[in-house]
Amino acid sequence: MSGLLDKAKETAKAAQDEIKVESHVVEIDSEGILMDHSSSNDSGLNTTQLQFQLGAVSLFLVTMVTVLFMDTITLFGGFTIDDLFVPGILLSWAIFNAQDLMAKVYDTQKLVVSGVVFILVTALFAGVAIFNPSDSGVTIANIEFDGDNNEIDLSFYGPSGMDYTIDVLVDGKVEYSHDATINIDKGSHSVDLDDFWKGNAEDMNGKELVEYEIRVTSEGGEESMKFDDIMNREIDTAFIKVVEKYSYDSSGENKIYEGIYVEMIVGMGTPSADFDFADGIFTGDEPLPIESDWDATIRVLGGDAIPQYDISADEGVANGYGDFNFDWVSLHMDGGYLDKGDFYGDDGCYTFEITIENVHGDTFTSTDSQIEFFWDSNEAGGDDPATAC
């Protein structure tokens, strides 16, 4: 009797163990991937997947409302909230299918269907946004200078179909005006610099000379933005500096002059730039280099011959020479020098005449760069470095 009782107890214990094992279902798919379904509750609901899907739907709704129904906000540079539209949709779709993607279980039908649903719902939100009346006005998104076409590129945000007027103001006076209409939620327009240019916005020290401003007016109101920081386009100062090139005679005592290395700097020099030269080096105050378009002619006056250099720069860059929008640049493309025989006559003062023709602005001629050389006397035993006249 006791044996039968013990056997019954063993059978009951085995049944309990079987129930415990069956409550934790583990499967291995055809690719050998371990799939644990223990996260499902008794009703068969996968709570982990549900959490991913709820998070995806929440992110999707936030993206739709923020991008389609709120005023555009520029986050940094030309990047706005609207630029999060496509990334937000893709991220929402990825989170919605996150559990399957992480487990590398690619149910093509499920992925495609969920993608189509996201696209259709996006289209529905966009349609509501387009035809939903808004009391917000057109806003200025970005202003930048196009150096290739010498124009300013403007971009705007606003409700679809809203009319607006663009005004370019110089010192408060309208110099250019244009009417346009928002397409979907954006608008753009380019204005040639010649249509409103009135000179540099600032001097070399940052003091305001001319105020440049964009104003946009629409049914929803008015907005304006200054753009002085990109309106310094005119060269008003140019200087030359040189380095004397020489060797020594067989005795090693007397110099034999061969020529000069010639460099030029251009930029905004008003009101503080000043030319000076002492002990063979430039000792003056340099102008502020800027990005601008210009043509330059440089002549060396005072000797037996008059050498001439002709240089053109686009945005301060002269092909074959270098970047005048940054620093001093050599006038010899190969790194060479101006030979003594090509300009030198006698000891004395030599003027480096620089004529700058600004594409936007005036043409001017500078004779500030005047340097005195003592080569004949130095070759006879003297030792006087070049200096300002």
What residue segments make up the domains of the chain, in order of their start?
19-131, 139-230, 237-388
**CA proximity to 240, closest of 223, 258, 224, 261:** 261
Give the pLDDT of residue 44.
59
Residue 321 scores a pLDDT above 60: yes
188 - beta bridge partners?
A: 155
In this structure, the strands spanning 387-388 and 363-373 are antiparallel
Confidence bin at 310 (pLDDT 50/70/90): very high
- Residue-wise pLDDT for 181-195, tens only, equals 988 778 889 999 999
Residue 70 scores a pLDDT above 60: no
Give burial (CB, 10 Å; 0-12/13-18/19+) of 380.
Answer: exposed
Name the pTM for this structure.
Answer: 0.66
Residues in the chain: 389
Map tokens 């409550």 to a residue.
23
**CA proximity to 260, closest of 247, 242, 276:** 242
Residue 344 scores a pLDDT above 80: yes
- What proportion of the chain, given as a percentage, has pLDDT over 90? 52
As a whole number of angstroms, the distance between CA 374 and CA 389 comes to 12
Give the pLDDT of residue 348.
94
H/E segment holding residue 113: helix 108-131
What mean pLDDT is predicted for residues 221-248?
A: 93
| Structural contact between residues 88 and 82, judged by C-beta atoms closer than 8 angstroms | no
Token duo for residue 344: 């030198």
Token duo for residue 173: 């006076």
What mean pLDDT is predicted for residues 280-296?
A: 95
The average confidence (pLDDT) of the chain is 82
CA 379 to chain centre: 53
C-alpha to C-alpha distances, 71 to 139, 141, 187, nearest whole angstrom:
9, 11, 14
- Residue-wise pLDDT for 5-38, tens only, equals 454 455 445 444 444 444 444 444 555 544 444 4
Q: Among 29-33, 257-261, 371-375, name the one with the lowest average pLDDT.
A: 29-33
Residue 113 scores a pLDDT above 90: no
| Structural contact between residues 148 and 200, judged by C-beta atoms closer than 8 angstroms | no
Give the pLDDT of residue 67.
64
Q: What are phi and psi of 68, to 5 degrees?
A: -90, -25
- Helix, strand, coil fractions of the chain, as percent rounded to 5: 25, 40, 35
> What angle do helix axes 85-96 and 108-131 make, rounded to 10 degrees?
140
* 3-class SS of residue 271: coil
Confidence bin at 131 (pLDDT 50/70/90): low
Confidence bin at 276 (pLDDT 50/70/90): very high
Superfamily of 139-230 according to CATH: Immunoglobulins (2.60.40.10)
Give the pLDDT of residue 339.
95
Give burial (CB, 10 Å; 0-12/13-18/19+) of 112.
Answer: exposed
Give the pLDDT of residue 14.
47
Q: What is the CA radius of gyration of the chain?
A: 38
Token duo for residue 153: 């590129």
Map tokens 């009319």 to a residue.
163
Confidence bin at 166 (pLDDT 50/70/90): very high
Residue 72 scores a pLDDT above 70: no
